[in-house]
């Protein structure tokens, strides 16, 4: 189906079902229950899951296939956001032109950075991309906020004002990002017993776009172009000895990856019409690296899982505080309850990065293939137990794609 083999078609269908049913899957606990704080089915967080999933999928096309580790992909995320907001300011709040411009501008920007950075490989390439990203951040934060040509509005951030031209904004058009009149914030809430489920227009737009770019990523992975990128990762020097010039392939992968990042930045602005220099910080570039490695470098679904995992920790796990812990362990004697809370305290709330760091180390040490490898091991174990087979294949996994 759609030019995919049976395995890839099944994967695409599974991802589509999980994405469409996310409001149900991410709200497993009743709204008024003590465990409701672990629900992640509210619109803003679901949008972040999908948008950063797109960001990570694009990064994986570069890092997972070619082995080139970029520490500057946040530059394209920020450029995409600024481009989208400028489209809102100049034309209208319709998200389609804004998203299209964010992809085009990020693609052009990535051609420039990629052409220079790809003259080197290894750690030197990583340092070059980091340098370009930090220069972009400095430009957005200060230089391009000069009153004479204020393109970024500095630390305040770029946003839409009432006196902006918006030459195509109709009198009856919503005064916020919309899709041909459908506001991105439009949300339908369905109450089913003690549960509440939110169906948000912005989330489903992002979800549909993610399914399209996920399909494109599958086609890239399975194409002759994808095989050339794997050859670059396997042994670029030997590839050059055969007479094949690897530079056009790596530059194409870099540009495609940058366009994915620009798309993610445009979607962020489409959900919330604001762009700031903080989206270009080196920490944002490091975050997408963590997402990809945590999920499974070089796999198809891994980066999406890694993005969801990190964003869940950032938005849900970080909200656990001492009061919540005391409510959980209230059944213990007072002294023991306080001791347990004291031990756990450094790992929750503002200390969620410590827990994430420990989990990341465990994954890197014991699951080099990321969460995808962990899922494969679990499935293999379940199959062996169900059929009563031997354990001769224990510890062996298939390629995580």
CATH topology of domain 6-300: ABC transporter involved in vitamin B12 uptake, BtuC (1.10.3470)
Gap between the Cα atoms of 11 and 8, Å rounded? 5
Token pair 């030019």 is found at 3
Q: How many residues does the chain have?
A: 401
Angle, CA 96 vertex, CA 94 and CA 102 arms, to 5°: 110
**C-beta of residue 296 within 8 angstroms of C-beta of residue 89:** no
pLDDT at 390: 52
The DSSP symbol for 286 reads: H
pLDDT digits (tens, 9 = 90+) for 106-150: 999 999 999 999 999 889 999 999 999 999 999 998 888 877 778
Gap between the Cα atoms of 307 and 265, Å rounded? 15
Please name the residue ranges forming H helices in 242-351: 247-271, 282-295, 302-315, 322-328, 334-344
Main-chain phi, psi angles of 192, to 5 degrees: -125, 100
pLDDT digits (tens, 9 = 90+) for 207-266: 999 999 999 999 999 999 999 999 999 888 888 888 888 899 999 999 999 999 999 999
C-alpha pair distances (Å), 161 with each of 89, 176, 202, 267, 382 = 7, 11, 22, 19, 57
Segments making up each domain of the chain, as ranges? 6-300
Token pair 């340098």 is found at 131
pLDDT at 1: 67
pLDDT at 399: 47
Gap between the Cα atoms of 362 and 365, Å rounded? 5
State the 10-residue block means of pLDDT for the chain, 401 residues long: 85 92 92 85 93 96 94 94 94 94 96 94 93 92 79 88 86 87 93 91 96 95 93 86 88 96 96 90 90 91 92 87 86 89 88 88 88 89 78 47 48
Gap between the Cα atoms of 371 and 373, Å rounded? 5
């Amino acid at each position: 189906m759609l030019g995919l083999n049976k395995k890839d078609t099944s994967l695409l269908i599974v991802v589509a079902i999980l994405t469409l049913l996310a409001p149900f899957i991410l709200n497993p606990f009743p709204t008024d229950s003590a465990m409701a704080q672990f629900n992640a089915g509210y619109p803003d967080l679901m949008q972040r899951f999908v948008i950063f999933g797109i960001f990570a999928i694009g990064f994986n096309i570069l890092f997972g296939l070619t082995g080139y580790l970029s520490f500057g992909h946040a530059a394209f995320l920020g450029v995409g956001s600024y481009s989208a907001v400028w489209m809102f300011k100049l034309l209208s709040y319709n998200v389609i032109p804004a998203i299209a411009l964010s992809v085009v501008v990020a693609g052009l920007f990535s051609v420039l950075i990629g052409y220079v950075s790809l003259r080197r490989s290894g750690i030197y390439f990583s340092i070059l991309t980091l340098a370009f990203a930090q220069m972009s951040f400095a430009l957005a934060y200060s230089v391009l906020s000069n009153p004479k040509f204020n393109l970024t509005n500095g630390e305040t951030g770029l946003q839409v004002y009432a006196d902006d031209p918006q030459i195509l904004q109709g009198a009856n058009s919503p005064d916020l990002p919309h899709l041909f009149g459908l506001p991105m914030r439009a949300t339908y809430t369905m109450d089913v017993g003690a549960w509440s489920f939110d169906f948000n227009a912005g989330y489903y737009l992002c979800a549909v776009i993610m399914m399209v770019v996920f399909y494109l990523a599958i086609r890239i992975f399975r194409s002759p172009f994808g095989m050339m990128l794997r050859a670059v990762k396997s042994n670029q020097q030997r590839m050059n000895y055969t007479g094949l010039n690897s530079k056009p392939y790596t530059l194409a992968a870099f540009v495609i990856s940058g366009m994915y990042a620009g798309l993610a930045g445009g979607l962020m602005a489409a959900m919330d019409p604001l762009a700031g220099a903080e989206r270009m910080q080196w920490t944002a570039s490091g975050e997408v690296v963590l997402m990809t490695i945590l999920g499974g470098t070089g796999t198809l679904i891994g980066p999406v899982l890694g993005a969801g995992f990190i964003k869940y920790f950032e938005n849900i796990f970080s909200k656990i505080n001492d009061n919540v812990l005391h409510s959980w362990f209230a059944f213990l004697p007072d002294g023991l309850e306080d001791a347990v809370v004291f031990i756990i305290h450094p790992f929750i709330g503002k200390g969620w990065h410590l827990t994430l760091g420990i989990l990341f180390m465990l994954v890197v040490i014991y699951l080099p293939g990321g969460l995808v490898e962990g899922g494969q091991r679990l499935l293999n174990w379940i199959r062996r137990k169900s059929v009563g087979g031997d354990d001769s294949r224990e510890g062996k996994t298939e390629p995580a794609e």
